[in-house]
Structure 1
Amino acid sequence: MLKILFGVARLPFLTLTVLCIALAATGSWYQQGSLSIGLLLLVLLMALAAHISVNAFNEYFDFRSGLDFLTRRTPFSGGSGTLVAAPEQAQLALWLAIGSLLLVSAIGLALSALVDWRLLLLGLPGILLIYSYTDYINKSPLLCLLAPGVGFGALMTLGAYWVLAGQPDALALSLSVLLALLISNLLLLNQFPDIEADRQVGRRHLPIVLGPAKAAWVFSALLLACYLLLGVSVWQNWLPTAALLGVLTLPLAAHVAWSLHQQSRSHTRGPDQLTALLGKNVLLTHALPALVLLGLVLAKLQGAA
């Protein structure tokens, strides 16, 4: 049973949630000089439950639609395959999704009562996004592109910062938009291996609607926007200069974007090449925020010295 739960929860992917909350917590500490461990643990639990819920709903609905039987699984896309191997456990996946969503709702209400009722303006759309992502949002190219970034950046990271700092500010907006761009791009690239399978079950994301070559330009534009945002944020003093440590990932970003353009135009590209590219993009999506986080820590320590 635990193996099934861990599979549909997609535990290896939860590192992204931990990074989002860590960045929000570090930003709050940088601004406020202190951090409530109790609130941080509640926020982290809620964020992990939200990620588990959307993963479990995705596993359940993709199994029901037959998509999981069509995709070629990679370590980064195509689902976990848990329910394909154990179809009798589909109901367990659904209960995990619902239970996790109820936990998100309960913690969200508690935090809204403790901190600021306006947090519900983030929480209610978040709950709707968790449930509707797989069956509804994936049928709209624009919503499908924006939803992951909105969920992890605008809702999760901004909401966590709001809870921990008491109110949002320019630093919080900079961090949340940076993560939104990165994570929307992460999911965009992860759609490339599943184009044919997704088309068969009625999905309409950008690689299907535009084709791989044009979708690669969208990927590159969002990636460029990440570094422009980082530069503007430092220039406007929304982030400290040390946050420019994130620019150290620029060579990796350029390599990923260039390789994607090469592969999207090639008729002989192999699945192993694309899988390797997905892995490099996962590394980039973790490394850039982690370096910005390190920059915040160094700037705070330098200021305190």
Structure 2
Amino acid sequence: MRLWWTAARPRTLSIALTPVVVGCVIAWSEGAAVQAPVFLATLVCALLIQIGTNLLNDVADFERGNDRPERVGPLRVTAAGWATPHQVRRAGALAFAAAALCGLGLVIHGGLSILALGLASIAAGWAYSGGVRPVSHSPLGELFVLTFFGIVAVCGSHFLQSGRLSTAAIATGFALGAMAAAVLLVNNHRDVEGDRKAGRRTLAAVLGPAHSRTLHAALMLLPFVLPLWLAFSARFNATTLLALLALPLALVAIRNMRCKQGVALNPVLGQTALAQLAFGTLLAIGMLL
């Protein structure tokens, strides 16, 4: 179990779950009758897609020679020899298959729009590491994360409960997606030298260290405009300002991103993810009050 728990990258899973929770809370705040089975099924699907994406990334990076001995990131099970590429790839495929199976009920409930979103999410999870030109090897990785782990996740969860889209859901999806993208940016900033040697043109490799740090700060700070806007909107109130309490966590991540490098950036991954989790949780609590 430890093997597969490590392979699933548990520290990243909140990035997939937080948008689903917040999307559901927005729907409730706007008057929708939240259905618990739909909410739980959405959570499970998001979790399985994230795990499948992580597993395929683990084996793909190993097979392409990206996980070299000098790699400074967290342990990867295929590179460490804990599991064979076949085992990890099969586990990733099973995670995607389980997500599709779980999603059948959501499609029945939400219709063709949810079918399209679900298929696109699974395809995107595969495309991140798979194929001739994986997204993870391009400057589009952060945009991919912002879109699918932000806007799509929040709006999909919101739509399943309310049957419609809302400006608040889209804006919140952008905010949470921006912070999720910041997590990937830290990862790619840390690995930039190895990625360049391997021919990976990540956004961090294209921008360089200084601009990567600036973008990270922007991705972490821009979301804090959202609770200010929501506090003065017709459907929400000043309690959404609770999300501002996550600002110190964001500032810690920004500071450490600026002054650390190499293996010392590993804790910054967790700090950035924690800031997103705190922001989303506090925002949801503020909406519920």
Residue 238 of structure 1: CA displacement? 5.6
Question: Quick one: which of 187, 212, 216 aligns to 2:209?
Answer: 212
Go from structure 1 to structure 2 and tell me whether the alpha carbon gap of 1:9 and 1:278 turns closer, same or farther (over 3 Å shift).
closer
What secondary structure does 1:182 align onto?
helix
For 1:289, the equivalent position in structure 2 comes to 280
Go from structure 1 to structure 2 and tell me whether the alpha carbon gap of 1:35 and 1:86 turns closer, same or farther (over 3 Å shift).
same
TM-score by length of 1: 0.85
Instruction: Determine if the alignment matches structure 1 residue 44 to structure 2 residue 43.
Output: yes
How many residues are matched?
A: 286
Go from structure 1 to structure 2 and tell me whether the alpha carbon gap of 1:214 and 1:276 turns closer, same or farther (over 3 Å shift).
same
CA displacement 1:107-140 (0-9 Å, x = unmatched): 3343222222122342232122100112411232
For 2:17, the equivalent position in structure 1 comes to 18
Q: Is the 8 A contact 1:46 1:104 kept in 2?
A: yes
- Structure 1 gaps of 5+ residues are 264-268, 299-305
CA displacement 1:228-261 (0-9 Å, x = unmatched): 2332333334643211111122233234324433
For 2:156, the equivalent position in structure 1 comes to 159
Question: Quick one: which of 166, 171, 186 aligns to 1:169?
Answer: 166
Q: Residues of 2 paired with 1:276 and 1:97: CA distance? A: 26
Q: Residues of 2 paired with 1:274 and 1:12: CA distance? A: 15
Q: Is the 8 A contact 2:32 2:162 kept in 1?
A: no
What secondary structure does 1:68 align onto?
coil
Go from structure 1 to structure 2 and tell me whether the alpha carbon gap of 1:212 and 1:124 turns closer, same or farther (over 3 Å shift).
same
Q: Residues of 1 paired with 2:138 and 2:21: CA distance? A: 31
Taking only the aligned residue pairs, the percentage that are identical comes to 25
CA displacement 1:237-292 (0-9 Å, x = unmatched): 4643211111122233234324433x2xxxxx554643343332222121111110
**Letter paired with 1:122:** L
- Structure 2 gaps of 5+ residues are none
Q: Is the 8 A contact 1:123 1:155 kept in 2?
A: no
User: How does 1:267-278 map onto structure 2 within 5 Å?
Assistant: 269=260, 271=262, 273-278=264-269
Q: Residues of 1 paired with 2:253 and 2:8: CA distance? A: 28
Q: Is the 8 A contact 1:161 1:172 kept in 2?
A: yes
Question: Quick one: which of 82, 89, 93 aligns to 1:94?
Answer: 89
Go from structure 1 to structure 2 and tell me whether the alpha carbon gap of 1:179 and 1:130 turns closer, same or farther (over 3 Å shift).
same
Q: CA RMSD in A?
A: 2.2
Residue 168 of structure 1: CA displacement? 2.0
For 1:61, the equivalent position in structure 2 comes to 60
Q: Is the 8 A contact 2:230 2:236 kept in 1?
A: yes
Q: Residues of 2 paired with 1:202 and 1:235: CA distance? A: 47
For 1:140, the equivalent position in structure 2 comes to 138
Q: Is the 8 A contact 1:174 1:238 kept in 2?
A: no
**Letter paired with 1:113:** I
Residue 217 of structure 1: CA displacement? 1.3
